[in-house]
Amino acid sequence: MNRLEENQLNFINMRLGTFIHFNSAAVQFSSGEIIDWEFDHENHGAPRQFPFSEKDWNPAGLDCRQWALAAKSAGCRFAALTTKHHEGFALWPSAYGTHSVKYATGKRDVVAGYLEAFREEGIAAGLYFSIMDLTAGIGKGSCTQEQKKLVRGQITELLSNYGEIPFLIVDGWNAPWGGPSYEMLPFEELDGLVKSLQPDCLFMNIGCDTGLSGTDVVFYENAAGQEVEGDFHGPGVSCNKLTKTWFWRKEDRETPPSPAAWAVSKMGQYFPMNINFMLNLSPNPSGRLEENLVQEFARIGKLVSLPEPLAKLPEGWLIREPRRPGHEADGI
């Protein structure tokens, strides 16, 4: 078993995790027709209609420990936070650009607060980062050398300033709905950068659900309809949610989440195939979870039964091909 396979196996043995969607969309799109992000801008080339002002970011009640305790009550062993979503707002004081908490009304480093709280509860805390950035203009129509410097610089900040990061999930990249293509920004370049900074950090690519050619772990966005096809034995991860949208909406206060039994049934489908399950938590603009979602996570913890850890790679486990030469990290 090589180093990557050992890290993959350790990740799969955690089984259950949470995906925390907390970013500008919780403020911008808490009501109205737009859901989660300004989709049409990238997919159809429409002009942007909803720029986000840093001054509108002020989560005065931010409580990362509440998130961690909710995750722990469900039995979650790992977590990811949307450090930057497709809109482009960075939840840490980035030195690249001016679209971050450094220039916001609420200047707290949310990434640092999240990592501290989850580590204290013994939950492996990873990060999510969107390659597509509507504010910086990075997408399927543009990924210049200057824009690549922003991508490279921000990933470097996340993997250099916060200690050990077990995995980095990227999104908005080579997707039919948007983001730069691999021709514009080759996978090997960013993969090489990540491994040069943290050799044991798994590099996971949302939407890369057909093999390991562009990811360390096959990633199914189950809530977007991605299902496993054929005979699969790992390594994989799936993400889903108990609420209608990934980011908080005003109706979430009163709308009952999907029941815990439903989530546990999804786990029963995925765990035997060595696919981990990530269940979404969506803090409100003040930085706290609604009580109905907290209670449903606690119910999951009473129902869930996690498989015994794998001691070795099972038959049929996908093998990652060696990285192609010619795409070193300093070529970005």
Under 8 Å CB-to-CB from 105, ≥6 apart: which residues?
Answer: 54, 55, 56, 57, 58
- The CB density around residue 31, as the number of other CB atoms within 10 Å, is 9
Parallel, antiparallel, or unpaired: how do β-strands 16-20 and 167-171 relate?
Answer: unpaired
Q: pLDDT tens digit string along 150-198? A: 999 999 999 999 999 999 999 999 988 889 999 999 999 999 999 999 9
pTM greater than 0.85 (yes/no): yes
Q: What is the dihedral of CA 178, 180, 182, 184, to 10 degrees?
A: 150
Type of residue numbered 142: S
Q: What is the dihedral of CA 300, 245, 42, 135, to 10 degrees?
A: -90
Cα–Cα distance for residue pair 330/193, rounded to 1 Å: 8
Cα–Cα distance for residue pair 3/195, rounded to 1 Å: 12
Cα–Cα distance for residue pair 236/8, rounded to 1 Å: 9
Q: Which regions of the chain are under pLDDT 50? A: 325-332
Find the angle CA(255)-CA(259)-CA(264) to the nearest 5 degrees. 150
Q: What is the residue-wise DSSP string for 175-223?
A: BTTBS--TTTS-HHHHHHHHHHH-TT-EEEETT--S-STT-SSEEE-GG
269 burial level (CB within 10 Å; 0-12, 13-18, 19+): middle
Type of residue numbered 158: L
Q: Determine the angle formed by the axes of helices 110-120 and 64-74, rounding to 10 degrees.
A: 40
Q: Determine the angle formed by the axes of helices 291-303 and 260-270, rounding to 10 degrees.
A: 50
Cα–Cα distance for residue pair 211/234, rounded to 1 Å: 10
Under 8 Å CB-to-CB from 262, ≥6 apart: which residues?
Answer: none
- The CB density around residue 48, as the number of other CB atoms within 10 Å, is 13
Largest CA distance in the chain: 53
- Residue 129, token pair as written in the block: 């980062």
pLDDT, position 330: 39
The rounded Cα 36 to chain-centroid distance in angstroms is 14
pLDDT, position 328: 42
Q: Do you find a cis peptide bond into 199, omega within 30 degrees of 0? A: no
Parallel, antiparallel, or unpaired: how do β-strands 202-205 and 167-171 relate?
Answer: parallel
Cα–Cα distance for residue pair 190/330, rounded to 1 Å: 10
Find the angle CA(16)-CA(248)-CA(45) to the nearest 5 degrees. 100
pLDDT, position 186: 96
The residue behind tokens 């986000």 is: 52
- Sign of the four-CA dihedral 306, 307, 312, 314: negative
pLDDT, position 176: 86
